[in-house]
Every structure is written in C-alpha cells, then in structure tokens.
Structure 1
Amino acid sequence: MEKVSKVFWISIVMATVFVGWGVVAPDQLGEIMDKTKVFFLSSFGWFYQLSATFFLIFAIFLIFSKYGRIRLGADDDKPDFNRTTWFAMLFSAGMGIGLLFFGVSEPISHFASPPIGEGGTGEAAKVAMRYTYLHWGFHAWAIYAVIALVLAYYKFRKKQPGLMSVTLTPLLGKRSTGIIGTIIDVVAVFATIFGVAASLGLGAAQINSGLSYISNIPNDFSVQLIIIAIVTVLFILSAGTGLQKGIKFLSNANLVLAVILLILFLFIGPTRFVLDLFTTTLGSYIQNLPSMGLRLAPFNDENALWIQNWTIFYWAWWIAWAPFVGTFIARVSKGRTVREFMIAVLIIPTLVCAFWFAVFGGTGIYFEFFEGLDVSGQSLETVLFFVYQQLPLTGLLIIVTLMLITTFFVTSADSATFVLGMQTAHGSLDPPLFVKVTWGFFLSASAVVLMLSGGLNTMQTAIIVSAFPLTFVLIAMSFSILKDFNIEMKYNKKLKIKSK
C-alpha cells in the first residue's frame, strides 16, 4: 500500500464519479458531453492546431540542434535493442485498433465529403489521402516523440521516476512534488483513461461488426458489452498472473499478422493503383503540410466543422495518448541519442501509417470510384468488412483482422494498466497488482460508459476535454527539457575547459 500515491486515490474517486454518472444517467451525460464538445471545438480549435504545429517544429529543431548528441542514458550506455528490433517496436507502437478501424473508413469518408472541393472526384481522392496522412503522420508522431524524449531523458539520464510532474522540476522546482505536481499527474491519468477507453470502444464495435459479417451474431451494444467483458478478463489476467511473456508473444505475433494482412491486402487488391496513389499523395502531403496543419476555415462554417470533427479531434486524441505511448517508446529507447531518437520516431511510423492508409483506404476509393460500389455509404465499423467482400480470400481476411483487433485490444489495455499503475504509484516500474487490476476495471468501465452515453461522439468529447489541460503540461515539458539541456551543455563545456 505504501507504493500507492495520493494521485491514485484522487483519480479513483473522480473515475468512480464519472462511471457512476454514466451508469445512472447516460442520456444526461451524453447531452452535457455534446455541449462541451461543441464549446471546446469552436472556441479552442486554434489552440490545438498551434499546439500540434509547435510539437512538430520543436521535434525538427531538436534533430538539427546542438543537443542532438545527448544520450538518453549515461554517456557509455548502449541501446538495449539493436536498430532492427527497435524500429519494429516503433512500428508496433504505431499500430493499433485505430489503424484497423479507420484504415478504410477515414479515407473513404474524406473522399465522399472532402474538406475542400466536391466529393467523389479524382481530386477528392487525393485530398482524402493527404488529410488522412496529416492526421496520422508527422504531427501525431512529433507529439509522441517529444513527450517520449522528455520521459526517457529524465528516467535514464537523470534517474528520476517516470512521472509527468517530475519532468517539470526545472520550471517548478519543489512545487513539482507538491499540489501542482499532483494535479499534473491526475491530468495525465485522466487523459490516458479517456484516450485508451475510446480505442477499446472502437475495438469492441469493430469486433462485433466483423462477427456479425461471418455469423448471425447481432451488431448491438449488448454484444459489445460481452466482448469488452471477455477482453477485460484476459488483460486483467495477463496483468495479474505473470503472463507478460504471453503478451510479448502476442505483440510479436500481432506485428507479423499486421504485415501479412497489409501485404495480402496490397496484392489481392488494385496493387498498381494503390502504389501510384501512395506515391502521388505522399508528395503532396509533404508539400502542403504547413497549410493543412494550420487550416481552420474561418470563412466557411461547413469546412470549419469538418476540421473540428476530424483534425482537431485527432490532435486531442494524440495528446491524450501521449503519456501512454510516450512511456512505451521511452522504455525501449534507452541508449539512443536525441538526434537518432527524433529522426526514427518521426519518420518510420509516419511512413508506415501513410502506406497502411494508402493500401486500405486506396482500395476502398478504387471500388467506389472505378467499380461504382457504395463504399462510403457503409458505417465506420463495417466498411472494412464490406471491402473484404469485394476481394478474394474474404473469410481469411476477416479472421486475421478479428485476431488482430482482439490482440491489439488485449495488449493495449494490458500496457495501459501498467502505465496507469506507474503514474499512480510514484513512478514505480513494478506497480502493485491491485492498482493494475483496478485500472483495468476502470478502463473497461469508462469505455462502456462512453459507448452507452453516445458512442463515438461522447468518446471524442472525453478526449478533447481531457487533452486540453494536458496540452499545457506537454508544452511546459518541452521548455523544461530545453532548460536542462542548456545546463548540461554548459556543464560539459566547463569540464572540457578544465581538462585542458
């Protein structure tokens, strides 16, 4: 019990109130969430856009700065993993339920209702891919890279606990361990809960839709509740019975399955069209990156609403996920230099995500544009399976996809219980079992409450609201590490002068 911090108890009380509210009055919660979402999107869209752009500029700055040679660990520390394994881990961090859920659904949605111009045209297809790359590309990975870098630096070089509050010590001094530090850690906990809970909700919806495609299982909330219950038991067992080796095996198998699915999908689909589309749109994405990343459309309400519901939502989601994904990336990156770390985390996952969406989204667009099928008319969770029906090996594709979603579900939730445990147990790398089990329950309960009170819309609201205060924390972390970098560089310079 001594390992548990007051952050745990404060967070548990607040999480209990939220879950209880969702169970007792889901409609009221959903209504309030709707109003809150509209307020934040319309009032603070500019803030999320500028913040995401700040992280990208800051990440690029670090690559070319004098701090690039600083090592994430002691000067003589060697990386724990070779480059190939490390790259694979970065790839796995970029993979998840979201890529399967949005792989076809996002590009085809943008194709039918683009942020600019008329839908259903060749130009709309290119715009659709460009904006999908924007949402899953450099901005997203810059947010992860910066936060992971800060966490890795203080953990491995400064030998500090893996807490968000600790990284702000250069700016806050002793206050980082007081009330302000507690507030910061609670904010990080709630952003993680809502960010991961939204993914669990998406995963349950897509597993349900896949099962309904291959059987007579109905596609409704009660089935999704059963799916979440089963997976909750699995990841709580994995967290509590020493089955981490099994989870590692699942993670590796997941990576192999994802690569197989990607290659299979590429070659049984319209291969040449997909590769042409990827090449063309990747170039235009890079070319239009600054204008897309700062676009808000103040003179067009329809376009502004599109940006709020897609781009701003994604920036908030990545910010909410930053403590979770950042902790994972930091843990596997000991011994890397700042420059090597930033280049790898920015570029490799971005290219993988872009290619994934080109293959899946490009195939969906091909069937609608050239074959005249109503791909964009399908729901977000069923459109992937609709596209599978147009391809050979439909049954195999569906089975592999359901296996992938399930294992992503289990491994993501299992990792999240560890991260939440660490954040609420003084940064311990071995948080108490009851803490991990408790967070496992609240993750699933939060996902159920969000689904019950409005589905994807409520999930978006929870993410946008929880990410707002966390954004200030993440920006402060960036300035905090700059301050320590400068102190370290000056100290090293003095040592060199003395040695001469």
Structure 2
Amino acid sequence: MKKTTPVFIVSIIIATLFIGWGVLPVSMIGDAALGPVTTDIQGFIVEKFGWFYLLTATGFLLFSIILIFTKYGNIKLGKDSDEPDYNYLTWFAMLFSAGMGIGLVFWGASEPIYHFFAPPTGEGGTAEAARVAMRYSFFHWGLHPWAIYSVIALALAYFQFRKGSPGVISSILRPVLGDRVDGKLGIMINFIAVFATIFGVATSLGLGAIQITGGLSNLTNIPNNITTQLVVIAIVTVLFMASAQSGLNRGIKYLSKLNIVLAIFLMLFLLFVGPTNFIMDLFTTTIGSYLQNLPSMSFRLFPFDENNTWVQDWTIFYWAWWIAWAPFVGAFIARISKGRTIREFLLGVLLVPTVFGALWFSVFGGSAIFLEYFEGASIYSVIEEQGMEMSLFAVLQSYPLGMIMSGLAIFLIAVFFVTSADSATFVLGMQSTNGSLNPPNSVKFAWGIVQSAAAAILLWTGGLEALQTASIIAAFPFAIIMILMVFSLLKSFKQEKFSVVKASDQSKKD
C-alpha cells in the first residue's frame, strides 16, 4: 500500500482501539465502557448544543438555496470545458443510493407510524397526528439533509476539479487556514471525517443485517438471531468487496441503477395495489404543509416544556447523523459530479432526492397509517413487539402478493447494503490516500474489512448503539469544519473571474 498516508495509519489504529473498547462489557469495566461514556457525551452535546445543530443545518440550506440564484451558480465544478462523466439518470441513481437508500427502506413505514402514535405535541392516533407524522418524516429526510450533503460535496468538487486540490477534507480549508492544513491540523481534520465515516457506515451495516434477517425470519423458518446476522454480514462483505475491486464505473454504477429500478418498482406496486387516492392526496397535502411549515420546523425547540425531548430524540439526532454521514456521502457525490455547474449540481442534489423521498414516505408511511387508521390493523404493535425493522414487511403483507414483495424488499435492502458499503470503501480509500480518484484495491480491501469487523463485533457484543452514538459525537466538531467550508467557498468564489459580454458585442454576434 504505497499510497497510504498518516491519516490511514492513525485511523486504522484508533478504529481498532474503538472496536476493542466496544467489545469490553459493562460488567467488566462499569461506567468506563463505550456505551455509558458515549451516551453521556452525546446527552451533554444534545442538551447543551441542540440549538447549534438546528441553526447549522438550516444555515446550510439557506446557503445552498441562495447560491443557486447568484452569479456563482454558473461556475463549473471543473474546467470550463469539462463535461459531466455521467448522464442524469446514472447521476441521480448513484447519489441517491449512496445518500440514504437503505435508510428509506428501513424507515419508510416505521417512522411515520411511530410519529402517528407518538407525535411531538398533542394526542397520538388522530388525524392531526397523522398529518404531523408525515410532515416531520418529509422534514427529516428532505431538503435539510441534502443541503448538508451538498455543502461538503460542492466544496470537495469545486476545489478538487476546478482548483486542482487533493480530494481530501483538509484541502477545502486552505483559503481560511492556510498552510496549516498540510500539517497536524490537516491530519486531525481528515481523521475526524474518516472516523465519522467508518462508524457511521459500520452502524448502517449492522442495522441492514438486522432488517435482512428480520425479513428472512418473517418469510421462512430461518431464525432471527446473532448467528444469522453474522452470516448475512459475511456474505454481503464478500459481495461489496468484489464490487469495490471492480471500480467506480462498473460495480457501483450498475448496482446503483439496479437499486433505483427495484426501488421504483416496489414503490409503484404498493402505490397501485394500496390506497392510491389516499396516498396521492396525502403526498400532495403534505408537500404543501411541509413547505408552509418549513421555517418554523427548522427552528423549533421546546424551551418551555422541559419534559418534551421529542426534538432532541428525532430532529437533532437526525441532523447530527446526517452531518456524521456528510464526509462519506459528500465525497462520493463530489466524485461523480465533475463537469456540472454549481446551479445544476445544487438543484439536482436538493430537489430530486427530496421529491423522491417524499413520494416514498407517502407510499409506505401512508399505507401504514391507512391500515392503522381506517382498517384497524396493528402495524405499531409489530414495531413494539418485533422492532422497527419489521414494519415494512407487516405493511407489504397486508396487500396482495405480500410474500413476493417482501422477498423483493429483502433483495433491495441487500443491494442497497452492498452499494453503501462499496461507496464507503471507495471514499475511505480516497480520504486515506491524499484524495486519489482511484484508490488502490488493497486500501479499499482494508477499509472493507474494518467496516464489516466493526459491525459484526458490535452486533455480537450488543455495542452497535454505542458505536452509532460515537459516530454522532464526531458530528459536533465536523459541523464546525463544515461552517469553515462555507467561508472558504465564499472566499474562493470572490476570486473567480466572470467574462462580461457587452450588449453591442452580443448584437454583433447575433
């Protein structure tokens, strides 16, 4: 591994130590175990700095929207003569699959139905609770998370493809930090990004394994236990490692297209066999309600209700989670966005996944709420008894061909699983080889093993939630780094030269 850097060495060592810490049980080291320590730290951050996460995420959204309408929107992410490497369909499929594909499958039915029975305010199980549940599901998976992703992706693509800088996080901050990014400060910045990526993806691998085994146990006699989950992780590891070795233009590209085709098919199937009019009415109504209430939701806390921790448990948790995922998703989106203008990039990254996600939640979440509210089904009791991961299968099996569609959903989760892990190994390879656009297979292999080992060991020891918490803690310093990115971008934009064509000159050309 000739291209490895100090970031790679430091990250591997600390990742190994963290995994080892997570293995140590509470019974052995008491409150010094990973779980209690990270829970206390996260509780402190969320309690004291929840306002910071809300303001930061909303600030990124405002920055992205305003930038679309400025002259800087005409700047290309690359040289002026560069053209995009991928057509729109492939681009949308790849950024969507890396961004939150597996999350939509996991939470598409479970989050709306959970909010329906436990809304932030008011009584659960009512029509108003249903409206609030859908609105907040749109909010948590809509413009804000994609704005977070777009800031770092825009910064990486701009500095890497237009300015010729290495594709690492620290290089973005050179305009504001100067040559300090070449030293220990730069190593620390890149390590924070790698740390958040490793454990964020490892957590998702664990959650994906849980949902796959839950679905298999629902369809067959395969037991839903730790042994089955470890077997699933082993099989998927082999698959995503094979895909990662094939490179960006083969494995990830083709799997992303398969993802989007399967996801659209599953969504359209449920839309037309389910309560179609109800779903589309809900989609239309909730879009309007979401846009109308977006400003108030973006700043909403409960300062006069000390016992209401709903915003902390959901909104602030999500904003921290998206920031923790931003280095991974942002770096991948940047890599596939060369040649697009800033305006084209922001419109695509903000609007297309947001609209698709809103339709997805309307179909799956709307179907779940319809079953509960009008049909007297017990989707929420399935969540309480068997876990969040089972709600999707409970919804699908309430409609025709439910078993077949559940099998398709399991396959879709597995493909999203492979794509996310494949993309993560690619990004980790880039970040630990000084921004190489084609990191060595040996480096990607090493990161693949680390991610899978982390997921497997922490599933085995029950420390997966602790590792998720640790990843979210990394979001706090990275949020500060992202704020500096905004100032770095603005400073660089001001140095761009724009050609001004006089009206007389233009008329001569015409």
What TM-score do the two structures reach when normalised by structure 1?
0.94
Q: Is the 8 A contact 1:277 1:362 kept in 2?
A: yes
User: 1:434 Cα shift?
Assistant: 2.3
Alignment of 1:184-223 (within 5 A): 184-223=189-228
Q: 1:123 to 1:461 in 2, by over 3 A?
A: same
2:102 matched to 1:86? no
CA distance, structure 1, for counterparts of residue 406 and residue 26 of structure 2: 33
Q: 1:26 to 1:160 in 2, by over 3 A?
A: farther
CA distance, structure 1, for counterparts of residue 399 and residue 500 of structure 2: 66
3-state DSSP class of the match of 1:363? helix
Aligned match of 2:452: 444
CA distance, structure 1, for counterparts of residue 351 and residue 86 of structure 2: 19
Q: 1:295 to 1:456 in 2, by over 3 A?
A: farther
2:11 matched to 1:11? yes
Aligned match of 1:358: 362
Q: Is the 8 A contact 1:187 1:466 kept in 2?
A: yes
Letter in 1 for 2:265: I
Aligned match of 1:480: 488
Alignment of 1:330-479 (within 5 A): 330-377=334-381, 378=383, 379-452=387-460, 454=462, 457-479=465-487
Q: 1:38 to 1:167 in 2, by over 3 A?
A: same
Aligned match of 2:295: 290
CA distance, structure 1, for counterparts of residue 191 and residue 96 of structure 2: 29
2:322 matched to 1:318? yes
Match of 2:283 among 253, 278, 284: 278
What TM-score do the two structures reach when normalised by structure 2?
0.93
Q: Is the 8 A contact 1:97 1:202 kept in 2?
A: no
Letter in 2 for 1:107: P
Q: 1:166 to 1:83 in 2, by over 3 A?
A: same
Q: 1:157 to 1:247 in 2, by over 3 A?
A: closer
CA distance, structure 2, for counterparts of residue 264 and residue 107 of structure 1: 20
Tell me the alpha carbon deviations over residues 349-376 of structure 1, each in whole angstroms, 9 at most, x when there is no partner. Answer: 1111011001000000000111112211
Aligned match of 1:149: 154
3-state DSSP class of the match of 1:382? helix
CA distance, structure 1, for counterparts of residue 453 and residue 52 of structure 2: 30
- The gaps in structure 2 that reach 5 residues or longer are 28-32, 506-510
CA distance, structure 2, for counterparts of residue 83 and residue 414 of structure 1: 21
Q: Is the 8 A contact 2:23 2:458 kept in 1?
A: no
Letter in 2 for 1:416: A
Aligned match of 1:102: 107
3-state DSSP class of the match of 1:193? helix
Aligned match of 2:62: 57
CA distance, structure 2, for counterparts of residue 247 and residue 158 of structure 1: 27
User: 1:414 Cα shift?
Assistant: 1.1
3-state DSSP class of the match of 1:161? coil
Letter in 2 for 1:425: T
2:153 matched to 1:138? no
User: 1:66 Cα shift?
Assistant: 2.2
Letter in 1 for 2:9: W
Q: Is the 8 A contact 2:196 2:472 kept in 1?
A: no
Q: 1:495 to 1:266 in 2, by over 3 A?
A: closer
Q: Is the 8 A contact 2:113 2:369 kept in 1?
A: yes
- The gaps in structure 1 that reach 5 residues or longer are none
CA distance, structure 1, for counterparts of residue 461 and residue 110 of structure 2: 23
2:85 matched to 1:77? no
Q: 1:242 to 1:122 in 2, by over 3 A?
A: closer
Q: 1:89 to 1:22 in 2, by over 3 A?
A: closer
Q: 1:89 to 1:259 in 2, by over 3 A?
A: same
User: 1:494 Cα shift?
Assistant: 10
Tell me the alpha carbon deviations over residues 9-43 of structure 1, each in whole angstroms, 9 at most, x when there is no partner. Answer: 11111001011112233662222232223222212
CA distance, structure 2, for counterparts of residue 281 and residue 177 of structure 1: 48
Q: 1:228 to 1:101 in 2, by over 3 A?
A: same
3-state DSSP class of the match of 2:379? coil
User: 1:93 Cα shift?
Assistant: 4.1
CA distance, structure 2, for counterparts of residue 296 and residue 448 of structure 1: 37
CA distance, structure 2, for counterparts of residue 422 and residue 340 of structure 1: 25
Question: Identity across aligned pairs (percent)?
Answer: 58
Which range moved further: 441-450 or 350-359? Answer: 441-450
CA distance, structure 1, for counterparts of residue 222 and residue 465 of structure 2: 25
3-state DSSP class of the match of 1:488? coil
Aligned match of 2:30: none
Q: Is the 8 A contact 1:26 1:449 kept in 2?
A: no
CA distance, structure 1, for counterparts of residue 214 and residue 408 of structure 2: 14
User: 1:429 Cα shift?
Assistant: 1.7
Tell me the alpha carbon deviations over residues 472-491 of structure 1, each in whole angstroms, 9 at most, x when there is no partner. Answer: 111111110110000124xx
RMSD: 2.0
Aligned match of 2:236: 231
